Structure 1
Amino acid sequence: MITDLKINAEAKKRYYRLGYWGTKTLCDVWDEQSARFANRTYVKDDLGGNLTYGQVDRLASRLATWLKTEAGVQNGDVVTFQVPKWVEFCIIYVACLKVGAVMHPIATNFNADDLNYAFGLVKPRVYICPTKYKAVDYEAQFRELGCDVTRDMTVLLIDQHDAPRDDSTCAALTDVLARCAPLDEPSPSSSDEVACILSTSGTTGRPKAVLLTHNNILFSERAYVSVLDMTPDDVCWMPSPLNHATGFFHGLIATMLVGASTVLELKFSAEDAIDLINREGCTWSHGATPFVHDIVAYMEKTGKRAETLRFYLCGGAPVPSIMVDRAYALGFLLCESYGSTESCPHIYVPLDKCLHWDGNWSGIAYKGIEVRVVDEKHNPVPLGEQGEECSRGPHQFVGYLNDPENTAKALDDEGWFYSGDLCVMDEEGRIRITGRKKEILIRGGENISVSEVDANVSGCPGIGNHATIGMPDQRLGERICTFVVPKGDARPTVPDVQDYLRAKGVPKRLWPERIEYIDAIPYTKTGKIRRFVLQQELERRMKAEQEEG
């Protein structure tokens, strides 16, 4: 069992006293909701999977029996599952809750090297994966791993399309669900224990393993749905991967809290997404910027509409006002939602403020969560002054697994989590995220936020998706370079872009000095721009220019 958790003792007492935390676990809440909404659809996928709350509960109970009696899973053991956006994900996560296992969903694109690292870090009792998915043979990939990593692990294969090999020592999900009786005993876990390990989605280095308790997740998702006016009749369209907080917690846990349903889109395309939303009557969604960027562009181009979509909550990057306006013209609200795996989510734009704030603010804190803006020494800065965003509250993670050094850097003894994001706060408590501390370019000694440049360039004729980075310069250290995906046939030049920004009143110090065209902006799966990839591409192009004289 994971025991080295970083929780401020006084804060813990306060959260219990205020009712933010309680003694119920995720399994307790699931049991209540699955009984209440037994005959209502819980989850669908675009491959034809369709399960009610009752069906998920019954199938998960059978899998729970196998986990306990045949795989030897005990309370606090880790179960790692590498599952696409299939309905089976829900069977697995609920089964983990029933036996008190720590859920550890990982990305489907993890290769053998990634698995070796992840298994070495979390030491799972069970590993669950498909037999095959896309071009990956997961059973063969597992066999490539060293026995020192896998010796004490039991493997369960999701045999949707392919049976395990004849010589396989792995169990098969269809067999387990057919022969195992339902587990009929209460979950042994408690609300202050770790319920889930999620990997950070950083663009450099190895991901960190974020620890979240039952109380963390329940508070977070209750706060999340409390401002969305959701009912059991709402249907979520979920294009985000399920190994991250957006897809898992918002797409599946949040909907479970209100008895609503979720439709999973396995492989995103704007055309398929619009058809899926209309066919299933999806009313809302939460995802990264690229998803909404593509569906807005597709609707504008084709005239098609997502007829039932009321709002889209956008995370991963600031939302420019022009995107808010374009979405509203197409019939739905586009609101920013801000957080991270460690602090998920804690800032939101109220639906009734979406148009009024018009992308100028990332939002306000949920009730029960504190936010402040600090300097390099973690002292609060005056209102309106830029600093680092930090937060604390009942939603906050309780450390990185087996990583006390990074835990101490990110999470102080008073419970404040330092996000690494730059922001400003006004007198109403509204936060505007202005960029990452690491996403600052220094031009002639002046710090410039690349996110601020990106926001200003949005809406320039001929410019579609775009991202700014620093360009090496002998005189100034760095200059401003913006990579652009062209919109239509136009190819705006640097003077064209600067004329547009001049007319908007944007200060000259924030004007791009170089434009580079590219087919697509590289993103992580959670919508964060992989700026280091653009940096490498710029270096390649600049080197080619030098060689050409």
Structure 2
Amino acid sequence: MRNEGLGGWPVRRALMTPGRTAFVFGGSAFTYAEFAGRTARLASRLQAAGVEPGSRVAYLGPNHLALVETMFATHRLGGVFVPLNFRLTAPEIAYQLGDSGPAVLVYGPECAATVGGIGEHPAQVVALAGPAPGEAEYEPWLAGGEDTPIDVPVRLDDVALILYTSGTTGRPKGAMLTHGNIVWNTCNVLVGVDLTADDRALISAPLFHVAALNQTLLPTFAKGGCSVIAPGWNVDTCYDLIEKHRVTWMFGVTTMFADFAGSPRWPGADLSSVRMVMSGGAAVPEVLIRTYQERGLVFCQGYGMTETAPGATFLEAAESLRKTGSAGVPAFFTSVRVVRPDLTDVAPGEPGEVLVRGPNVSPGYWRNPEATAASRTDDEWFRSGDMGVIDDEGHLYVVDRVKDMFISGGENVYPAEVENAIFEHPAVAEVAVVGVPDEKWGEVGKAYVVCRPGTRLTRDGLREFLRSRLAKYKIPVHLEVRDALPRTGSGKVRKDRLRATTQRSNSSPHG
């Protein structure tokens, strides 16, 4: 096979384990042989639609088997897959389509209004449900494809994915990941997680996000395991799927795991099949990690970002108790440093910016050489923009984003540390802290909190709670209680929006 990239994976897996279940979706199970046949037919249809090596194919919609099929079929043709955040508005999607220039757009019925509002675009449109004028219904369209082998030469350094960053500042950038980036990331996961062919992964985080796709689904596929795909995150659905399919591991972000542990089903649910849960993308409060550990579940963390495909560090299961709160050590095939502003290495315990280098690191941003150059040091280390510390055993602790740190009375304040302390309050379900201007101190903290049902929180009550936990200058001066926090599609809090709406006055007793 001349395809060295992901496009060859369905064929290779089908040869090795044709009868094993590759995916469960919508109440149906699909073997590796069946999945290989479906992707072959889809590849022939995409080829007939004009997809060739280098062409982009976009996908817009919630988690669906068709997303995975579209990705593998695109890669079989040497194309570039562009998964889009279905929560974005039509103008936001229009920008990403205009930037990436796909030949084909596949979308789910939930996104019909968004697609209708995009306006003119060159992509051929394929609907998962329909039909509607100018659209092809997905299943009949797929069934009309041919099973004839397509073996386009694809090298590991060819671009496989364009993943648009969250865009917390300015326009989102299209991070390019090569087939080699993804293969090496998969190797890093398999070294750190010890997956087996009997593992069953629950995919409930969005597959347009790099962690669900590259850190969970693809390593499971490479090992010949089974991925149980949920359309999206729903606590009860998650419990049901774990019990029905005996799920062994899952990935999630902080809010997902907080919701899961806060469910009334938590104490009595059968979670005996789950041997590990894994989180990344943002610091996880230690109290939440302890909640899972006390339930007998191994809670592992990793650290990374879209541009590192995403795994940069990983905390292995054996260290999850001793190093609670750590993001672990560098992944096996990846190097990580923490540096001062002059790019010299920090001492243990000294905060600095995290740099990453390795075969999993993106070659740059799509059609954006300026942003690519700005993200690299002169000796080609990727600048994460994250603050971290390394302990005396080489374990990384992510402190915060460089841009999120603020200075109060001459002291550095890292919001993630403050959020961790606030999260221990029994009334707090979600929290985000930002720095806001202050005439006396320059900046002070403002906490945005979502309370648990049936509870309330006051500014003075929160400050009193924190007095024994944080230095005085770290304790937020302001509190605002909200029904929800603004988030990106990958679950990260949109702190730029919080800063933009910050009021310069103290909150009322009710927030």
- Identify the TM-score tier after normalising by the shorter chain: over 0.9
Partners of 1:233 and 1:260 within 8 A in 2: yes
2:91 to 94, 110, 113: 113
2:58 to 80, 84, 88: 80
Partners of 1:299 and 1:330 within 8 A in 2: no
Partners of 2:477 and 2:506 within 8 A in 1: no
Per the TM alignment, residue 535 of structure 1 is displaced from its structure 2 partner at its CA by 2.9
* Equivalent position SS for 1:137: helix
2:486 to 518, 522, 525: 522
Per the TM alignment, residue 481 of structure 1 is displaced from its structure 2 partner at its CA by 1.8
Partners of 1:337 and 1:347 within 8 A in 2: yes
CA 1:80–1:355 in 2, change beyond 3 Å: closer, same or farther?
Answer: same
What does 1:20-59 correspond to in 2, within 5 Å? 24-45=4-25, 47-59=26-38
Per the TM alignment, residue 72 of structure 1 is displaced from its structure 2 partner at its CA by 1.9
Per the TM alignment, residue 513 of structure 1 is displaced from its structure 2 partner at its CA by 2.2
**How far apart, CA to CA, are the structure 2 residues paired with 1:514 and 1:303?**
38
**How far apart, CA to CA, are the structure 1 residues paired with 2:460 and 2:410?**
24
Partner of 2:42: 63
1:408-439 per-position Cα deviation (integer Å, ceiling 9, x unaligned): 11023432100000011123211111101111
Partners of 1:78 and 1:126 within 8 A in 2: yes
**How far apart, CA to CA, are the structure 2 residues paired with 1:464 and 1:483?**
11
**How far apart, CA to CA, are the structure 2 residues paired with 1:93 and 1:442?**
44
State the TM-score, normalizing by the size of structure 2.
0.93
1:76-99 per-position Cα deviation (integer Å, ceiling 9, x unaligned): 111112132111112211211211
Partners of 1:393 and 1:415 within 8 A in 2: no
Per the TM alignment, residue 260 of structure 1 is displaced from its structure 2 partner at its CA by 0.7
Partners of 1:105 and 1:243 within 8 A in 2: yes
1:164 to 128, 131, 136: 131
CA 1:486–1:246 in 2, change beyond 3 Å: closer, same or farther?
Answer: same
* Equivalent position SS for 1:439: coil
4+ residue segments displaced more than 6 Å: none
Partner of 2:243: 278
Per the TM alignment, residue 24 of structure 1 is displaced from its structure 2 partner at its CA by 3.0
Partners of 1:399 and 1:411 within 8 A in 2: no
User: Any stretches of 5+ residues in structure 2 without a counterpart?
Assistant: none
Partner of 1:3: none
**How far apart, CA to CA, are the structure 2 residues paired with 1:23 and 1:125?**
21
What does 1:163-312 correspond to in 2, within 5 Å? 163-165=130-132, 168-299=133-264, 303-312=268-277
Per the TM alignment, residue 257 of structure 1 is displaced from its structure 2 partner at its CA by 1.1
Partners of 2:55 and 2:80 within 8 A in 1: yes
Per the TM alignment, residue 536 of structure 1 is displaced from its structure 2 partner at its CA by 4.0
Per the TM alignment, residue 301 of structure 1 is displaced from its structure 2 partner at its CA by 6.4
Larger displacement relative to structure 2 (306-315 or 168-177)? 168-177
Partners of 2:480 and 2:507 within 8 A in 1: no
* Equivalent position SS for 1:114: helix
Per the TM alignment, residue 58 of structure 1 is displaced from its structure 2 partner at its CA by 0.3
CA 1:34–1:332 in 2, change beyond 3 Å: closer, same or farther?
Answer: same
Counterpart residue type for residue 354 of structure 1: S
**How far apart, CA to CA, are the structure 2 residues paired with 1:299 and 1:250?**
29
CA 1:521–1:111 in 2, change beyond 3 Å: closer, same or farther?
Answer: closer
* Equivalent position SS for 2:131: coil
Per the TM alignment, residue 460 of structure 1 is displaced from its structure 2 partner at its CA by 2.3
Aligned residues between the structures: 506
Counterpart residue type for residue 40 of structure 2: S
Partners of 1:286 and 1:312 within 8 A in 2: yes
**How far apart, CA to CA, are the structure 2 residues paired with 1:198 and 1:411?**
18
1:286-326 per-position Cα deviation (integer Å, ceiling 9, x unaligned): 12111101001115766434332221111121122211110
CA 1:39–1:87 in 2, change beyond 3 Å: closer, same or farther?
Answer: same
State the TM-score, normalizing by the size of structure 1.
0.87
Per the TM alignment, residue 331 of structure 1 is displaced from its structure 2 partner at its CA by 2.8
Counterpart residue type for residue 293 of structure 2: Y
Per the TM alignment, residue 538 of structure 1 is displaced from its structure 2 partner at its CA by 3.4
CA 1:246–1:301 in 2, change beyond 3 Å: closer, same or farther?
Answer: closer
Partners of 1:305 and 1:330 within 8 A in 2: no
Per the TM alignment, residue 492 of structure 1 is displaced from its structure 2 partner at its CA by 4.2
Say whether residues 1:316 and 2:281 are aligned partners. Answer: yes
Per the TM alignment, residue 544 of structure 1 is displaced from its structure 2 partner at its CA by 9.5
**How far apart, CA to CA, are the structure 2 residues paired with 1:216 and 1:544?**
47
* Equivalent position SS for 1:291: helix
Say whether residues 1:353 and 2:327 are aligned partners. Answer: no
Once superposed, what is the RMSD of the aligned Cα atoms?
2.2
Say whether residues 1:140 and 2:116 are aligned partners. Answer: yes
1:423 to 366, 382, 388: 388
**How far apart, CA to CA, are the structure 2 residues paired with 1:122 and 1:491?**
46
Counterpart residue type for residue 426 of structure 1: D
**How far apart, CA to CA, are the structure 2 residues paired with 1:81 and 1:488?**
37
Counterpart residue type for residue 127 of structure 1: L
Partners of 2:165 and 2:175 within 8 A in 1: yes
**How far apart, CA to CA, are the structure 1 residues paired with 2:93 and 2:167?**
17
Counterpart residue type for residue 453 of structure 1: V
**How far apart, CA to CA, are the structure 1 residues paired with 2:264 and 2:229?**
20
* Equivalent position SS for 2:197: coil
Partner of 1:103: 81
1:379-399 per-position Cα deviation (integer Å, ceiling 9, x unaligned): 322232111001100100001
**How far apart, CA to CA, are the structure 2 residues paired with 1:376 and 1:475?**
27
Partners of 2:221 and 2:227 within 8 A in 1: no
1:135-158 per-position Cα deviation (integer Å, ceiling 9, x unaligned): x435634xx522xx42xx322222
Counterpart residue type for residue 110 of structure 2: Y
1:465-501 per-position Cα deviation (integer Å, ceiling 9, x unaligned): 2111123322212222212222354434444434433
Per the TM alignment, residue 110 of structure 1 is displaced from its structure 2 partner at its CA by 3.6
